[in-house]
Amino acid sequence: MGTELTTGHEERLAEIEATLEKAAEAKARTAELEERMKRAFAAVCIHQMDSGKSAAAAEKYARSSKPYEDLSDQWIAANYESERLQSKVKANDLKIDVWRSLNATERAKMNLR
């Protein structure tokens, strides 16, 4: 069992790298949508309070507004994708740990011979 990478290993590492990149992009998208939700919420609240509504009424209106609702729906989908990809990253980490352990065991066996 050598330490050189085979074509299969290189392909697997490329897949892992692509997954890490997608996970980072999904996390950034989730953060972006959170910020947009805050802005939409604040804009609607301010508009409603300027119209004479109480802060509590303005907040209720903002949370049920179409812009906030649309962003919230997008955030839910983006967060799901981010969590799905993070799970895939963790699974890849576990696979690498198992591979390392198996290789260490194999090297130890060879050293005993």
Using an 8 Å Cβ cutoff, are 71 and 41 in contact?
Answer: no
- Burial letters 75-86, b for 16+ CB under 10 A, else e: beebbebbeebe
* Under 8 Å between Cβ of 78 and 24: no
The whole-number pLDDT of residue 102 equals 86
pLDDT at 1 over 50: no
Closest to 81 in 3D by CA, of 39, 5, 22, 1: 22
DSSP for residue 6: P
Res. 31: pLDDT tops 60: yes
Query: What is the pTM for the complete model shown?
Result: 0.76
pLDDT grade, residue 2 (50/70/90)?
low
User: Is the pLDDT confidence value at 4 over 80?
Assistant: no
